[in-house]
């Protein structure tokens, strides 16, 4: 959960380590995702100059699911899986954002891998059984929280990654700017458990918020889902425009083929402080 300032982690997490017996009871994985989601949102602002969060997790997901973005066929699988690219060289050169978008658009069909990691023997062999504890929550649809940060986890939108049929997901949930815009500035001693009690209540019911999950060997989307996606999604990153790929980036053989949230009867009376200024490099 590093911030954008020299890869440092906020001191707020230290009290959670006081009782080592209770450390494993915290959902650290969802806390990491909450911070990453918040940073992905913040970085879309035109004046953003940096980015925090667990970026190696984002990079790892992209390279596992879209191997055409990097030459990784020769990299051995290691655990944790993110270390496959952090400790071994050879992922290839970096490309500009437009070229990466074009590569994703061109390989959106056969090039994107939706394989369940449990179905890949080389990966399944190195993952300890402890990693699958509470794996039934990987596709839940609930808010994820880390102190001042509240984001919504839409697990029902990535069912194919877990070997399940992808149905039309529920409409996206928004936590609202009054929550999404909260920061820690001027809030020393703030009890975030009280501030976010409505969302914590929904999180407590996360087991009941799992979507319908039907395992299938055929993960091709249904006609109904395709029609929904083309009407609601963004099928083309470049708007379907023809773009010439420069020769130096062409590769051959690089890869193988909240209605649920009740109004708070006791809203915070405090006035939100001004947003934190962007950290300059």
Convert the pLDDT of each residue in 138-177 to its tens digit: 889 999 999 989 999 999 999 988 888 889 998 888 887 7
What span, in angstroms and rounded, lies between the C-alpha atoms of 183 and 52? 14
Q: Is the pTM of this model over 0.85?
A: no
Quote the pLDDT of residue 202: 94
3-state secondary structure of 201: helix
In a domain, 180, yes or no: yes
**26 lies in which domain range?**
11-249
Show the DSSP H helices in 52-176 as ranges: 55-65, 83-86, 97-106, 121-124
Cβ-proximal residues to 257 (8 Å cutoff; 6+ apart), any chain: 110, 111
Cis preceding linkage at 80, omega within 30: yes
In a domain, 202, yes or no: yes
Quote the pLDDT of residue 72: 56
In a domain, 272, yes or no: no
Quote the pLDDT of residue 257: 36
Query: Which residue do the tokens 């055929």 mark?
Result: 218
Q: Quote the number of domains for the chain.
A: 1
In a domain, 32, yes or no: yes
Question: Tens digit of pLDDT for each residue in 73-105?
Answer: 567 788 888 877 665 555 555 567 777 888 887
In a domain, 42, yes or no: yes
In a domain, 278, yes or no: no
Q: Which two tokens stand for residue 268?
A: 């915070």
In a domain, 242, yes or no: yes
Distance in angstroms between the alpha carbons of the first and the last residue of the chain = 19
CB 65 within 8 A of CB 112: yes
3-state secondary structure of 152: strand
Point out the residues of the chain with pLDDT beneath 50. 245, 248-259, 271, 273, 277-281
Quote the pLDDT of residue 251: 46
Quote the pLDDT of residue 256: 41
What span, in angstroms and rounded, lies between the C-alpha atoms of 2 and 12? 12
In a domain, 267, yes or no: no
């Amino acid at each position: 959960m590093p911030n954008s300032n020299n890869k440092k982690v906020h001191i707020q997490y230290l009290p959670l380590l006081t009782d080592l017996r209770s450390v494993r009871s915290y959902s650290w994985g969802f806390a990491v995702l909450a911070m990453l989601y918040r940073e992905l949102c913040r970085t879309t602002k035109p004046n953003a100059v940096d980015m925090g969060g667990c970026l190696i997790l984002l990079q790892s997901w992209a390279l596992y699911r879209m191997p055409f973005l990097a030459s990784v066929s020769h990299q051995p699988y290691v655990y944790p899986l993110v270390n496959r690219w952090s400790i071994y060289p050879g992922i290839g050169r970096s490309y500009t954002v437009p070229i990466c978008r074009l590569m994703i658009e061109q390989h959106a069909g056969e090039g994107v891998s939706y394989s369940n990691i449990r179905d890949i023997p080389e990966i399944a062999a190195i993952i300890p059984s402890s990693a699958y504890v509470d794996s039934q929550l990987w596709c839940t649809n609930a808010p994820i929280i880390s102190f001042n940060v509240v984001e919504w986890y839409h697990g029902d939108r990535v069912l194919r990654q877990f070997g399940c049929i992808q149905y039309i997901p529920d409409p996206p949930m928004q936590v609202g700017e009054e929550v999404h815009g909260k920061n820690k500035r001027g809030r020393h001693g703030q009890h975030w458990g009280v501030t976010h009690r409505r969302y914590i209540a929904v999180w407590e019911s996360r087991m009941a918020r799992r979507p319908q999950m039907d395992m299938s060997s055929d993960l091709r989307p249904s006609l109904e889902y395709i029609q929904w996606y083309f009407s609601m999604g963004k099928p083309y990153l470049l708007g379907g425009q023809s773009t010439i790929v420069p020769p130096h980036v062409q590769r051959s053989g690089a890869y193988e083929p909240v209605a649920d949230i009740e109004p708070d009867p006791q809203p915070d009376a405090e006035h939100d402080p001004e947003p934190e200024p962007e950290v300059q490099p």
